[in-house]
Amino acid sequence: MRHLLSYLALVGIPLLGLLGVLEVGERLSAPAAVHGAYALTLPAPREPCLAAAFPRDDPRVVIAQSGPIVQVRLGGPSGLELRGRTDAGTLRASGPLPQRRPAGCAADSVTFDGTVTRTPDAWLLAGSLRLAPCDSCAPVPIAGVLPRRVAGAEAR
Amino acid sequence: MPDVLLLLAQIAGILVVARLVGRIIGLFGQPQVVGEMLAGILLGPSLLGWVAPDVWLALFPPASLGFLSALSQIGLVFFMFLVGLELDPRQLRGRGHTALLTSHASIIAPFLLGALLALLLYPRLSDDSVEFTAFALFMGAAMSVTAFPVLARMLAERGLLKTRLGAVAIACAAVDDVSAWCLLAAVAVVARAGEAAVPLPMMFGGVLLYAAVMLTAVRWGLARLQRVVERRGELSQDAVAFVVFFILASALVTERLGIHAVFGAFLAGAVMPRDEKITGALLERFHDLMVILFLPLFFAFTGLRTSVQLISGDLWAWCAVVILVAVAGKMGGSAIAARASGLSWREGWALGTLMNTRGLMELVILNVGLDLGVISPALFAMMVLMALATTLMTTPLLERIYPAAAIRD
């Protein structure tokens, strides 16, 4: 009898608690997913500061997401890595330009502002890159697509 | 085509660093496996990639990681087969109420705490492509796992295997192992239900049917292998080739069923005949290759996926909470249950300390979770640190709670 009571107290009650947690948790909401490897759909810009971000062999924008925190990678691991946040499908991330910059590049950092629109067929990324400090630099538009079959399911 | 030179250099580099760090950490009384786990993190973006990014990119260019990943996955499949093979149901017999209560409580307590923690972490570290149920069940399973091989080795090293504490610890860890893999399989089904072509009940049905067929018809068929071995007196190369085929086929089936290949490999090991000649011969042929070559590759691949830099600001506080919850749930839950079932408080805490060892098993579970997309990269990094911390603390804590003098008494 003592063993049965111990079992109920140490196993049965926590099990009921677990069911309660799952019930409560269903009402929680998490940030909208934006992660994935987006294939670029716009031609690479000619801006010299962004040469590393648009190599011919890796024309993708890879977004890794941990809750609202995002890591935006352009041009693979040797390209640009920007960090920032996402909120309801909008993103803002920034980071330094590589120390070895091409001639004609006076900026030292870059900021990405964008949105992810989730359609039934694909997730669409649209936004722009802004260089700083560079008053004369125009924002560089970015657009990408992530097919639905990999969106959400793709390893982050 | 793989760059063979680069691949060989990567493997050689990983093996050297793994053995070296394993030796160094061994000087502090820690098992080799802790050093290998640490070596993986040192070789990843968390240290080498941060300190010397050019060297790191030259040694591990992203395009080459697919081959390293494939090798580490194959190693993992065979390792999980060995885990299943070493699972001995006889360890559970005769342990009675103590093992039943302690093992179940040592699973449910950390599982509940893990799920409670999921309530806090889901809005902070997950996203809406993951169902809360899958996230919470994964956190629970990840918190309740115990590293059976590390635990068994520690018990043997300390001469505890024949004691009451050792017997209960082995029985509990065996139950924990099976439970954790069953739970993780359930999480995998739930997590992949959204992307699968078949509905969730059918996926569950398929997995259960496969497990039932393996545990009945296939186990019965494998008994023939035992008779062949008895007749010939040894496990022939053909028989080993058949076992390798069997492992790969089973891994393939569970991968096709929508859960991970590791479950099929584990199941293949679990249904092998429990004949000393067969298990002994298979362990002898696979074990060294596994421990010396494939496991360090798996640790290195895990390290390459772990970026500690993703943990910044208040995420460090959450990382501390994750470690605290893992320790409180597993150690506390096991100790209280052990005390309730008749062990002394000292034995209870020693059991809790042993059960708290996450080691390699945790890394397997975490990699499955990351593959399935159930956990985010930052949470993965936190959980890897938790696995490392709980494994690192076991030896010194056990020495304090249950010193050699107490064992002799």
B98-to-A51, B110, B330, B402 alpha-carbon distances in Å: 66, 18, 16, 19
Q: Which of B122, B127, B305, B368 to mutate to test the interface with A (most CBs of A within 10 A)?
A: B127
Q: For A36-75, what is each residue's pLDDT tens digit?
A: 999 888 777 777 777 766 766 667 888 999 999 999 988 7
Measured between beta carbons, which residues in chain B are less than 8 angstroms from residue A26?
Answer: 132-133
Residue A156, pLDDT above cutoff 60:
no
**How many C-beta neighbours within 10 Å does residue A155 have?**
14
Which pLDDT band, with edges at 50, 70 and 90, does B380 fall under? very high
Question: What does B154-207 look like in DSSP terms, one character per residue?
Answer: HHHHTT-TTSHHHHHHHHHHHHHHHHHHHHHHHHHHHHHTTTSSS-HHHHHHHH
| H or E segment to which residue B90 belongs | none
Mean pLDDT of A133-151: 78
Q: Which fold has domain B3-406?
A: Na+/H+ antiporter like fold (1.20.1530)
pLDDT at B113 (0 to 100): 95
Of B192, B373, B378, the CB nearest to A155: B373
Mean pLDDT of B203-227: 87
Percent residues over pLDDT 70 in chain B: 93
pLDDT at A57 (0 to 100): 65
Of B97, B108, B122, the CB nearest to A15: B108
Higher pLDDT, B98 or B223: B223
Residue A152, pLDDT above cutoff 60:
no
pLDDT at A155 (0 to 100): 41
Please state the length of chain A. Answer: 156
**Interchain CB distance below 8 Å, B136 and A22:** yes
Residue A153, pLDDT above cutoff 50:
no
**Interchain CB distance below 8 Å, A31 and B122:** no
Max mean pLDDT among A18-22, B78-82, B147-151 falls in: A18-22
Mean pLDDT of B299-324: 90
**Interchain CB distance below 8 Å, A11 and B104:** yes
Query: A76-104 in b/e burial notation, b at 16+ Cβ within 10 A?
Result: bbebbbbbbebeeeebbbbbebbeeeeee
Mean pLDDT of B30-38: 84
Measured between beta carbons, which residues in chain A are less than 8 angstroms from residue B315?
Answer: 69
